[in-house]
Structure 1
Amino acid sequence: MSAVLGVSVGTSAVRMTTPKVCQAVEVGSGRGAELAAQSIGVLLEHEDIGATGVAFGDDLQADAMHQAMALQRLHNYQLVPEAAAVVALLESVGQLGPDDHTLVLYDLGSSGVTVSVVDRYSRTAVAVRRSDVAGGDLFDGLIAEQQWHDRGIDPPADDWAAADFASRCRTAKEQLSTSGAAAVSGDGGLILLNRERFESLVRVPIEGSARLAREVVAESGRSPDLLVLLGGGARIPLVQSLVPHWLALPTVVPPEPEMVAAQGAALLATPVEAPAEPEPVRTTARSRGAHRPPRGPSRRQLGIAGAAAAGLVVIAGIGFALDRGDDTSSQGEQHVVDVTEAPAPPSTTTPAPTTTTPAPAPVAPVDESEPEPIYEESVAPAAPAPRYLNLPAPIQIEVPPNIQLPPGMTR
């Protein structure tokens, strides 16, 4: 049976949860969406995942996730708003009462704090604000400064030593969430810190985040019913006591406050089919009409042009014959015409021949559905082979008897 994957993308880590896997992958600067998509792709290669839900905080993060997933050629996923994911998880574990209509989500992560006022039934945020007034990285820095100044530990000499020292300060902070003192050894020296000293370092930032939460509630115009502490910072005892005091609200802390968004996204995830490949566009003769090269003359046009040329040749031949007749009469050759044999004297004016163009043969309709149009080559009409042609039957021209007709022509 296929499992469901839930993912949340933070500024410091990508968190992934399935019935078998629950892990966090540290994120470099500005690579949260890319790392999330790559991690999802690797997990899909080794696990039978039927649906994937990815929680997002805002539209900018949603767009980044869409682009990153497209680069990995991943389509079976669903983006889920963080507010909807949190509400779904809280309802599934029974941490919301019947009268809890408006929730305040206080999410204290590594880079800052996000406060949202959420309507439970619409699962939408009424008001949202984010600030870096408090955060896990800030708390780690305060611990490092305290160790350098109070305990005389030398600052790191290079980047690698600085990263290692920051990691050990974070470990000490996490230990203080469950114990009264922390001791973390390393190359730079032993980090020693108790909870009382730690709370004195982080009280001011936490109070600043609580003041921010109260301002967001006032901006929303709602009367909240419940405060929900989320993120890794929700495990700090001072946060659990100070923030509810400032807001004067009943408070719940989920068992895994940093995994709530990912778990809720898994609950809301549904399978998504890959988009169908677009069919190739078939180009027809009609659609290619705008790009069709100029067509040469058709067979019908060539036929008409040929007929016209032939008619001109006939007329030219008659004219040539008449010219010859005039030349012979001028040389003294006479021919007596009996009036009784010719009812009327020959006309000295040659009437213009009347040409009747035969009706063109019917042209078969062009099948425009043919895949490729057939273009005919433009061929100039050839001159007719015989020099003299017999005129069509309807045309009669009287020729003087003294004119000898060329071969092939009859009176």
Structure 2
Amino acid sequence: MSSVLGVSVGAGAVRVARPHAGNSAERGALRPNPVDAFDLQAIPVGERRTEELVADAIGAVLAADPRVSATAVAYRDEQTARAIRAELARRQFTNYELVPDVVAALEFLEYSGDLQGFGTVAIYDLGASGLSVTVVDTATRQVCFSERTSDISGDYLDSLIREQQIASGRIAHPPDASGLAALDALCRTAKEQLSENSAVALPSTEGLVLLSQENFEALIMLAVESSARMTRDVIQRSEQQVQAVAVIGGCAQIPLVARVLRRWLGVPVLVPANPGTVASRGAAIMARPVQPRPAPAPFAAAFENSSILPPDATTALLTSTGAVEKISRRREISMAGVAVGALVVVSAIGVSLGWGPQVLEHDSQSSDAATSSAAPTTTQSSASVPTSVAPTTDATNEQLAAPPQRQETTTTDAPPPAPGPNTFTIIPGLPPVVVPTLPPLFPAPAAVPAQPGISHR
């Protein structure tokens, strides 16, 4: 028969709850007294980290009893939940779930029948590190309002007892921190025993801790009334009609707490048996085996892997004409894209290196070169040179310094003038670039009279 495990995390101790053999908490088959249906254990935190202690406790239980099929951990805040989740993941624990301690406590209180007939309740949780007051709707499990304070706590009540004992002269002040911690632990034990006894006397190395129930209540009365005032304020701010108050936590066993709350709030105050373990027992009731995550779907693109797709589907997919045509078209488009990209790159490199005029006017340059090679005579071609005067250096500078002439747009569609020999169009759509004519290095030769039978161009 499988079993479950419930764990609650507190500042002072980590508590573990397991249903007895033959009693399954998840099926609701507990004994008439729910306290007797669980094996309970409290592990003091001390100097260790809480998440490490939780992981150690779960690991020890799983190693001792392989029948444990589910684990639930009740946490107080999100920071504690993240730390526990990280530690359990580091130790490779998977079959667990995290639940808020308020929800776990409500689960047990409803399960035990303490909250039967109450729709909205306030949970008063007084533990070692502080007090939490939470207003909850029992039907929807929705938290209406919650507040926490560290002004009153179990540790604070212990310090009140310690200071009172030192002030009485029966206890010497401890000389170091370890002695002070030992005295606080002794005062905590006295506080717990006073919940059932009228007086306690506990010996120690520093003296005798002697305290009566009457003195203890007078010592903590102001702190308890302050907590009752806080509970009343939380209920008012929640704007809910609270029908009862459930007192849980390690300090809930102090009889004065329930009496003061009844007087201040005027509603029923419920104190379950062993209130410090309510969250751990509720976590055990909520523990369910974690369903394994489904395996990820196979990747359909791996057609050649017959283990991913069925053989028939793979063959039909590879032999279908439509699939082959789509693949060939994709290849053709890819090749065309590569070719276009290569041409764009080559064109960009040519323009950046100054090859644009030669490439764009390759035909005109080649024809001019052929004409000049056919008539290489210098005297004949220079016969018409005297008709034009070579520009001087000043004229050249003025031509270079002059801004380019803009072409005015007219309504007539006259054809543009033919470009000169020194005009080059580098980029279509932009104005052409005019290269100035440099003066000759040597003077022009004398003109030679034209001979008959020879034409000059």
Give the structure-1-normalised TM-score. 0.65
Aligned counterparts of 2:129 and 2:47: Cα–Cα separation in 1: 11
Aligned counterparts of 1:2 and 1:171: Cα–Cα separation in 2: 36
Structure 1 residue ranges without an equivalent (≥5): 287-411
Q: Deviations over 1:281-330 (max 9, x none)?
A: 999899xxxxxxxxxxxxxxxxxxxxxxxxxxxxxxxxxxxxxxxxxxxx
Aligned counterparts of 1:160 and 1:282: Cα–Cα separation in 2: 66
Deviation at 1:231, TM superposition (A): 0.4
Within the candidate set 187, 191, 210, 1:173 is matched to 191
CA contact (8 A) 1:83 1:123 kept: no
Q: Deviations over 1:128-153 (max 9, x none)?
A: 11101211111111111111111342
Give the structure-2-normalised TM-score. 0.59
Q: How many residues align?
A: 285
- 1:98-113 equivalence runs, <5 A: 98=117, 100-113=118-131
- 1:374-389 equivalence runs, <5 A: none
Deviation at 1:244, TM superposition (A): 2.1
Letter in 2 for 1:251: V
- Between 127-136 and 265-274, report the one with greater CA deviation: 265-274
Aligned counterparts of 1:16 and 1:70: Cα–Cα separation in 2: 20
Deviation at 1:181, TM superposition (A): 0.5
SS of aligned partner of 1:35:
helix
CA contact (8 A) 2:202 2:208 kept: yes
SS of aligned partner of 1:153:
coil
Deviation at 1:34, TM superposition (A): 2.3
Aligned counterparts of 1:119 and 1:255: Cα–Cα separation in 2: 22
Aligned counterparts of 1:230 and 1:219: Cα–Cα separation in 2: 21
Q: Deviations over 1:260-294 (max 9, x none)?
A: 111111111100145578899999899xxxxxxxx
CA contact (8 A) 2:170 2:207 kept: no
Letter in 2 for 1:86: A
CA contact (8 A) 2:170 2:208 kept: no
Match of 2:16 in 1: 16
Aligned counterparts of 2:169 and 2:299: Cα–Cα separation in 1: 74
Match of 1:140 in 2: 158
Aligned counterparts of 1:225 and 1:92: Cα–Cα separation in 2: 18
Q: Deviations over 1:69-127 (max 9, x none)?
A: 111211111112222212221122111222x1101000010111100000101112111
Within the candidate set 253, 271, 274, 1:253 is matched to 271
- 1:2-401 equivalence runs, <5 A: 2-20=2-20, 21-28=39-46, 31-47=49-65, 48-98=67-117, 100-273=118-291
Deviation at 1:2, TM superposition (A): 1.9
Aligned counterparts of 2:200 and 2:247: Cα–Cα separation in 1: 24
TM-aligned CA distance change 1:249 to 1:206, over 3 Å? same
Aligned counterparts of 2:99 and 2:285: Cα–Cα separation in 1: 10
Aligned counterparts of 2:51 and 2:262: Cα–Cα separation in 1: 33
TM-aligned CA distance change 1:143 to 1:234, over 3 Å? same
CA contact (8 A) 1:75 1:274 kept: no
Q: Deviations over 1:208-241 (max 9, x none)?
A: 1111111111111101011100001110011010
Identity of aligned residues (%): 41
Greater share of residues in helix: 2
RMSD of aligned residue pairs (Cα, Å): 2.3
SS of aligned partner of 2:99:
strand
Q: Deviations over 1:154-186 (max 9, x none)?
A: 111223222221111111111111111110011
Q: Spell out structure 1 runs of 4+ moving beyond 6 A.
A: 276-286
